[in-house]
């Protein structure tokens, strides 16, 4: 959630870290700050956008800096609670992501020793502890601090005695080291520093990293030097500009055909199951994810079960590890269970914890992720990388589409491997998957028809989304999108469940979006729409091309391109994304950075 960047080298550091920090704005934050070495440590931090902090800065020749964007966990957003934090003498400056679980007892102990706290943040104990243990060696002081603190964290520290040294360490939250030419970088996100380097080091938990302009050292807790791997990361197309679109979210919605096309090369390859280590008969499968990724997992459940007959459970990451151990269905299957973990960032704390729990239970783990080199990709047995490029809007769009696409491709390969699909059927499925980008483009080309529906929603206090079978998860996703960016209350339901309570909430002021595709649930869905109309609630239906019945029973409708019902979640998703976007735009909300939300959730 918070963001960290740091630089040491031969160039003015202030400009570099500020530009890098702005690349992390998409993650969400409420304050920002910077610490530099100008003969002494100079710290500037302000509540609000980076521009507030930037306005306070003057030109600096410092070649060392650390900077931070904060999302409040302890203490309200304010100048004093912003990072970096320092000791009383401002000899040490520290930035911190995560939470210190035992900070209250540490704070009481430090106060008893005479230290005065200036903030309400748990992070302020860090510079005070490091200062307490400092005797000329910053690495040793940080190492001793690790003996005291408990929690999840990425910490980066600088000291006034050394204008060319950053010491950093992590535990369960992201840290990446970027290697340059007589300059080096630290960051909590590769996107922040990809402009400057593609050569990355990914430290493990509790490995202490000492970074200077000409050297990177990685040490264990006994302060022994460790060997490390340097990985080259693909440089994504620069996304800092909106390319003529008013918001990043709208730009990313329109990038979906390209994201789907680019991801195909990763998904439809020779022997994908062998590459993923899936060389046994799978008896059971669990999909684990959060938020929008959870909805992609629900779609995947329908497709995988339909094509393979493998039973699939879908769990929220935050609940997965508290449930009974995965032992197949009801503990009756002896084959090794498969757990698929979906995370856009690869750093989602709850999903990472679920991955570790699954591995401890002996499950085979596969991650579907959009960020190569992220934490989850290095902890699982197999990885499917989606090629969406960076997604800046907090509300997930193109990453949702490529996650669904990955699950469809996986389902087809599993079905072929098990004999459920023969070779011609497999090729037919692959051919249909290849058509999805063009189907999505057709919806995008009809965006003005979606915009015309906005007046029916902007005065609503509550909106319902309904669907059946494979489009029930799309009802959930449509409701989530509307809630996220328009702040209108919305709920997604299986269409058949409205009569079990929610019908009581319907009125002429409660619009209902119905997803009606002509599969085996179609006639039941039509009956549900008629139930809603009988309660005078306005019905806006998403229907397949050529549907003759929906226009007669709906107040308004949108026609999808011609597509097989099992592939309908893709064009339906685009309709729902654009509908939510245009409603939010009409209401004037902050679409790319919804209140209270962050793009990457790295705390549990």
Q: Which residues does the annotation mark as catalytic?
A: 2, 599
Interatomic CA distance for residues 93 and 160, integer angstroms:
9
Helices 423-434 and 398-418 cross at an angle (nearest 10°) of 170
Instruction: Give the length of the chain.
Output: 604
Do 441 and 539 form a contact (C-beta atoms < 8 A)? no
Residue of 555, 587, 553, 551 lying closest to 460 (CA atoms): 587
Cα 436 from Cα 83, distance rounded (Å):
45
For 65, half-sphere exposure in the C-beta direction (CA atoms, 13 angstrom radius) is 27
Measure the CA–CA gap between 287 and 250, rounded to whole angstroms: 29
As a whole number of Å, the end-to-end CA separation of the chain is 11
Q: Among 495, 514, 509, 308, which residue's Cα sits nearest to residue 417?
A: 308
CB 368 within 8 A of CB 403: yes
Can you point out the beta strands (E) in 279-433? 285-289, 312-316, 338-343, 364-369, 382-385
Tokens 């993923």 correspond to what residue? 276
Q: Kindly calculate the radius of gyration of the chain based on its CA atoms and give it in whole angstroms.
A: 26
The tokens for 453 are 């529906």
* Residue 355, phi then psi, degrees to nearest 5: -60, -45
Q: Which residues of 96-126 are buried (b: 16+ CB within 10 A; e: fewer)?
A: bbbbbeebeebbeebeeeebeeebebbbbbb
| 393 contacts 288 by C-beta, under 8 angstroms | no
């Amino acid at each position: 959630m918070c963001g960290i960047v740091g630089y040491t080298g031969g160039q003015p550091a202030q400009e570099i870290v500020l530009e890098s920090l702005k690349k992390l704005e998409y993650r969400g934050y409420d304050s920002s700050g910077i610490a530099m070495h100008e003969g002494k440590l100079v710290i500037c931090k302000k509540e609000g956008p980076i521009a507030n902090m930037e306005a306070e800065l003057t030109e600096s020749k410092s070649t060392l800096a650390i900077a931070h964007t904060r999302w409040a966990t302890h203490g309200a957003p304010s100048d004093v609670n912003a990072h970096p934090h320092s000791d009383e003498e401002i000899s040490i400056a520290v930035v911190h992501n995560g939470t210190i679980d035992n900070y209250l007892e540490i704070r009481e102990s430090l106060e008893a020793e005479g230290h005065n706290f200036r903030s309400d943040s748990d992070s302020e104990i860090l510079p005070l502890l490091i200062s307490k243990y400092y005797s000329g060696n910053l690495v040793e002081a940080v190492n001793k601090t690790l003996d005291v603190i408990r929690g999840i964290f990425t910490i980066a520290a600088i000291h006034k005695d050394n204008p060319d040294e950053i010491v950093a360490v992590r535990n369960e939250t992201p840290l990446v080291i970027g290697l340059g030419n007589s300059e080096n970088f630290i960051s909590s996100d590769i996107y922040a520093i990809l402009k400057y380097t593609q050569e990355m080091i990914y430290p493990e938990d509790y490995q202490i990293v000492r970074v200077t302009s000409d050297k990177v050292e990685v040490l264990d807790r006994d302060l022994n030097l460790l060997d490390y791997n340097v990985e080259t990361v693909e440089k994504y197309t620069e996304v800092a500009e909106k390319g003529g679109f008013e918001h990043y979210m709208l730009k990313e919605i329109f990038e979906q055909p390209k994201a789907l096309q680019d991801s195909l090369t990763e998904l439809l390859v020779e022997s994908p199951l062998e590459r993923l280590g899936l060389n046994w008969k799978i008896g059971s499968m669990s999909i684990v994810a959060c938020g929008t990724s959870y909805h992609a997992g629900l779609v995947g459940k329908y497709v995988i079960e339909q094509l393979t007959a493998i039973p699939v459970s879908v769990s929220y990451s935050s609940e997965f590890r508290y449930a009974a151990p995965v032992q197949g269905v009801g503990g009756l299957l002896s084959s090794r269970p498969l757990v698929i973990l979906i995370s856009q960032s690869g750093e989602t704390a709850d999903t990472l914890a679920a991955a570790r729990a699954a591995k401890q239970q002996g499950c085979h783990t596969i991650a579907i992720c959009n960020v190569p080199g992220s934490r989850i990709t290095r902890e699982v047995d197999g990885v499917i990388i989606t090629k969406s490029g960076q997604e800046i809007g907090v509300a997930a769009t193109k990453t949702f589409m490529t996650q669904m696409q990955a699950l469809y491709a996986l389902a087809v390969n599993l079905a072929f491997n098990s004999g459920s699909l023969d070779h011609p059927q497999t090729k037919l499925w692959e051919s249909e998957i290849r058509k999805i980008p063009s189907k999505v483009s057709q919806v995008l080309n009809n965006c003005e028809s979606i915009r015309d529906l906005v007046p029916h929603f902007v005065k609503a206090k509550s909106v319902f989304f309904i669907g059946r079978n494979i489009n029930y998860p799309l009802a959930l996703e449509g409701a989530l999108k509307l809630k996220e960016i328009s702040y209108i209350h919305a709920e997604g339901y299986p269409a058949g469940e409205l009569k079990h309570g929610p019908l009581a909430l319907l009125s002429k002021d409660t619009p209902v979006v119905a997803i009606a595709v002509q599969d085996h649930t179609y006639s039941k869905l039509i009956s549900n729409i008629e139930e809603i109309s009988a309660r005078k609630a306005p019905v806006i239906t998403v229907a397949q091309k050529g549907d003759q019945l929906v226009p007669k029973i709906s107040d308004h409708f949108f026609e999808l391109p011609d597509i097989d019902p099992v592939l309908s979640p893709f064009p339906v998703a685009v309709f729902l994304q654009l509908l939510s976007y245009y409603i939010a735009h009409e209401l004037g909300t902050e679409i790319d950075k919804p209140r209270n939300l962050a793009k990457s959730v790295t705390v549990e």
